[in-house]
Amino acid sequence: MSSLRMAQGRLRISFFLVLVVFLSFFVRLVFVQAVNAQDRAHQAARELNQTVDLPAPRGDITDRNGNVLARSIDALDLVVDQNLIGDPEETAKLVAPIINGSTSAIQSRLTGTRKFVYIAKDITPAQWLKIKEAIASNNSGKPMSERIGGFFTQRGFKRDYPGKTLSANTLGFVNSEGVGGGGIEASMNSLLSGTDGVLTYASGKGPSIPSARQSLIPAKAGTNIRLTIDRDLQWVTENAIASVAKKTRAQSITAVVMDPATGEILALATAPTFDPNKFNLTKSNLLKIPAVQEAYEPGSTGKVMTFAAALQERLIEPTTVFQIPDKIKRADRVFNDHEPHPKWKLTSTGILAKSSNVGTIKIGEKMSEDTLHSYLSKFGIGQNVNMGLPGESPGIFSPVNKWSRSSAPTIAFGQGYSLTTIQATSVFATIANGGVRAVPHIVAGTSNQNGHYTPKSNDSGVRVVDKEVAKTLSLMMESVVEEGGTAPSAQIPGYRVAGKTGTANRFNDECRCYSGYTASFIGFAPADKPRFVMSITIQDPKGIHWGGYLGGPVFKEVISYALKSYQIAPTGNLHEAFPLDAATLKKRTKITAAAVARD
């Protein structure tokens, strides 16, 4: 009897255990199929499907007339299914020489169980053909278990710059990850990049079949960027400064051509430059944009702001006479003109034409330090231009409360502060534009893939000096390019030209000392109705370093082309130049008085 009870007890326990197991399976089944069904479905989909990003083509960058400066062209990306690589080491040795890659790096990408791995991007059709031929040759005569397979290509995009070095520093480049690494490519990367698409397809065991699509989110192409640059004028400018760079062995030369009325940059050139198609072979210092990133002391081109301030404050007239020695002491410093000379009796115009440091100091002393500082600030000194290019420098311009006793005379003739070539060009554009400073800009607008163009909005101009003051200063600046001035080589037959030369001691960041010179010329034409302002900045030229001698001929060559290209009629409004010295002024006054008496 007791044995029967024991058997029944064991049976109940066994039944209970079976019931517990059954209930646990039931609960688990309910949890998987009802509570966690969606997560399980997603997990299954991930295991059965492969997702691949589809790269979007970057937007084009064009000049003002629609000429393409940067574009995306079709390219082939080499892809592999790692499950079909029997010997990654031997396969890497086979493929690496064809695509100019590292054997060890390729081997690591061939090793594993992933079904879709990028091996190389932007390979050429010829390289893909060589890979297929090499694989076929290697597989010949081998059993299936030892053959290489799993390579295929996917279409992608490669950045192409059809003009090669043309406008390279402004355009920048695109790195191997497809990200803009300089210039417009970097500063407007988010617009240019577009949105990558996504392809999902069945994978499973064996070779992947990308054509077996389940879902596709197409890639959205990037936005096109239209620049204010004129491609042909840019080419002429680059060639002009390249010849000077070779002749002077300068560290760098920067040239800017601007429309003074709108602030549009028509050309922005740098020498030496680089080919963005081969940016990875370029030294890093050549990838910069000196026009906005490199600040320097302007020297005598900065004098025009001192003259503008003195004219606006009614402290001088174009014919005001000054006694000018060749040196003058202020505070603890002695300031010199660029060469020794007997005491001059120059008019204000003569001081500008001969670029006298001493004379400009005397003019600057007619106003307070606060007044001088305020006018340079109105011209944009010490402020970001915000052109939309990466790494823009505001320059260096200290507030008045940090000036020393010798700061004011130093700043009056263009040293003791720094600016960029774009800022310097903007100063002259303000004078050319009747005293109104238009904001310099290089992006004209954008267009989507449907061709809808949206112009970029720009800030309205700011008046710096009166229109009559700008006109008077422009007339005075014409004397700079006439006989007796410092840049007669900038004259353009048939057109009136105004400008100013500059030769400044150059601060060297490497030694933290002054070493070499910055030579420059900035001018505009036609002077009576300005259409083009051009600046040429030459850093550390070897040998002759005068701004008028080096920059004047470049201005003449480039602006002569621009005047003809834009069909600007020759100047018809001739004028009588202001006298440069007291003797000429006295003589002209006597002649005028005699003519009045005869009348």
Longest dimension (CA), the chain: 161
Q: What is the DSSP letter of 207?
A: S
Can you give the pTM of this predicted structure? 0.84
pLDDT of residue 572: 67
Sign for the pseudo-dihedral over CA of 144, 150, 151, 154:
positive
Q: Is the sign of the CA dihedral 205, 208, 212, 218 positive or negative? A: positive
Write phi, then psi, for 160 (nearest 5 degrees).
-130, 140
187 burial class (0-12, 13-18, 19+ CB within 10 angstroms)?
buried
3-state SS record for 561-587 = HHHHHCCCCCCCCCCCCCCCEHHHHHH
Identify the CA nearest to 467 among candidates 438, 435, 499, 430: 435
pLDDT, position 498: 96
- Supply the Cα-derived Rg of the chain in whole angstroms: 36
Question: What is the rounded CA–CA span in Å between residue 233 and residue 558?
Answer: 8
CA 300 to chain centre: 26
- Cis ω for the linkage preceding 272 (within 30 of 0): yes
Residue reference for tokens 């003109």: 337
Cα distances from 484 to residues 480, 487, 531, 544, 579, in angstroms, run 8, 9, 25, 19, 11
Residue with structure tokens 């603890």?
Answer: 332
pLDDT, position 499: 97
pLDDT value of residue 594:
45
| Helix/strand/coil percentages in the chain, nearest 5 | 40, 25, 35
CA distances from 150 to 182, 247, 571 (A): 37, 56, 72
Please state, in angstroms and as integers, the Cα–Cα distance from residue 318 to each residue in 152, 301, 514, following that order: 76, 18, 34
- What is the C-alpha to C-alpha distance for residues 266 and 562, in angstroms, rounded to an integer? 10
Local structure of residue 195 (DSSP, 8 states): B
Question: In whole angstroms, what is the distance from residue 510 CA to residue 198 CA?
Answer: 49
Q: Which of 231, 235, 230, 271 is nearest to 254 (CA)?
A: 271
550 CA to centre of own chain: 25
d(CA 586, CA 220): 74
Residues sharing a CB contact under 8 Å with residue 175, sequence separation 6 or more, in sequence order:
181, 279
What's the pLDDT score for residue 590? Answer: 64
Give the Cα separation of 186 and 279 in Å (integer): 14
For β-strands 224-227 and 197-202, DSSP reports them as unpaired
Crossing angle of helices 467-478/421-432, nearest 10°?
A: 110
DSSP sequence for 199-222: EEEE--SSS--TTSEEEEE--BPP
> What is the mean pLDDT for each group of 10 consecutive residues in the chain (599 residues)?
62 66 65 58 56 83 97 88 86 90 91 87 85 83 70 85 96 90 94 84 53 69 96 98 94 97 97 94 91 95 98 97 95 92 95 96 97 98 93 96 96 96 98 97 92 87 96 96 90 95 86 87 96 97 92 97 96 80 85 43
Show Cβ contacts of residue 244 under 8 Å, excluding neighbours closer than 6 positions. Answer: 250, 253, 271, 536, 538, 550, 554
